[in-house]
Amino acid sequence: MKTPVSFEFYPPKTDEQRAQLDRTAQRLARFKPDYGSCTFGAGGSTQSHTPRTVRHLREKFGYNIAPHLSCVGGTRDEFRTLIADYLDMGCDRIVTLRGDIPSGMGDPGEFKYAIDLLKFLREEYGDHFHLHVAAYPEIHPQARNAKHDLQNFAAKAKAGATSAITQYFYNVDAYFRFVDDVQKMGVDIPIIAGIMPISDFHKIKQFSAMCGSEIPRWISQRMDAYGEDMEAQRDFATEMVADLCRRLTEGGAPGFHFYTLNLAKPTVRVLDLLD
């Protein structure tokens, strides 16, 4: 059976970025994704771009887009207005997140945590939306401790989440351990594996250090050994991520959510290798 796939996009701000997104969405459409998602800027920075991008991807490419909703900086009325737009588009999925608090923001808004926004959506819209929440197999970087992080996730699942999408990871054991732990806590929602194909290893190392995703030492050592041979780095990274997906499939992962960064090639290479 084919493992379901989905893709994350971010809203473009320039004509060049818009053209890049269109090329990427068109190339990835042939994999017949279950849905796509579109990120959301907290505090008004890019949130106005998100509805436009959602509509564009739905109407031009036929994607079933799940817009991200970040609770930071928003009010109930603002969310009602935004969601009315999504309902008008025909959206039936939402990715519910706390979001990063912008530097200097004094008022985080009416919702402090993702679970508060999740409860609001269930109270206001019932079962209309498939509500995705975030999961962190390697523990949220701001969590008090690992146990508290698992308890927070279990609370979101029991508050009405339909499924979860993980932060990306390269340690398959972390994913399966996380799934086992939360299942013992009574969580039975699907936990979709977040996959980050590698196009620029230096940038991935920097981003991983900020978001708490561990790059195993053996991967870093292998990439360093290739030096400036970018083709060798690319081939190794593609095979490594494809093997990660194979092991996840064998272990029963219910789906893959690819973080595309609005680039097609890294994801296409992995999916072509997986056939």
Residues marked as catalytic: 8
DSSP one-letter string for 112-123:
-SHHHHHHHHHH
List domains and CATH numbers for the chain.
5-274 (3.20.20.220)
The pLDDT value recorded for residue 4 is: 96
Question: Quick one: average pLDDT of 102-116?
Answer: 68
Neighbouring C-beta atoms of residue 75, cutoff 10 Å: 12
Q: What is the pLDDT of residues 182-215, one digit of tens each?
A: 999 999 999 999 999 998 898 999 989 888 899 9
- Interatomic CA distance for residues 7 and 3, integer angstroms: 13
The pLDDT value recorded for residue 6 is: 98
The helix/strand/coil state of 7 is strand
Q: Where on the phi/psi map is residue 200: left (φ > 0), alpha (ψ -120 to 50), or beta?
A: beta
Q: What is the mean pLDDT of the chain?
A: 92
Q: What is the pLDDT of residues 223-249, one digit of tens each?
A: 999 988 999 999 999 999 999 999 999
